[in-house]
Amino acid sequence: MRCMISRDMHDFKDLKVFQDSYLLGKDIWHDFKKNQNHRLKNQIFGSVTSIPANLAEMAAFDTIPQ
């Protein structure tokens, strides 16, 4: 059974939320580049990058999970 995802969903890079979260991740990476608190940097960067990663993963699915 195929999922009822529109063709537009596969163009996740066109989504505003993807573009904004991607840019936010880049900004945070550059802002925290010299920060010595690696645990904090990794926690924040991991949280921010999960948004575009989840959108990309969702767009890759072609079937409904069981």
- How high is the mean pLDDT in each 10-residue block of the chain (66 residues)? 48 86 88 83 86 84 58
Query: What phi and psi values does residue 63 have, to the nearest 5 degrees?
Result: -130, 165
| Torsional class of 65: left (φ above 0), alpha (ψ -120 to 50), beta (otherwise) | beta
pLDDT at 2: 46
7 CB neighbour count, 10 Å cutoff: 6
pTM: 0.63
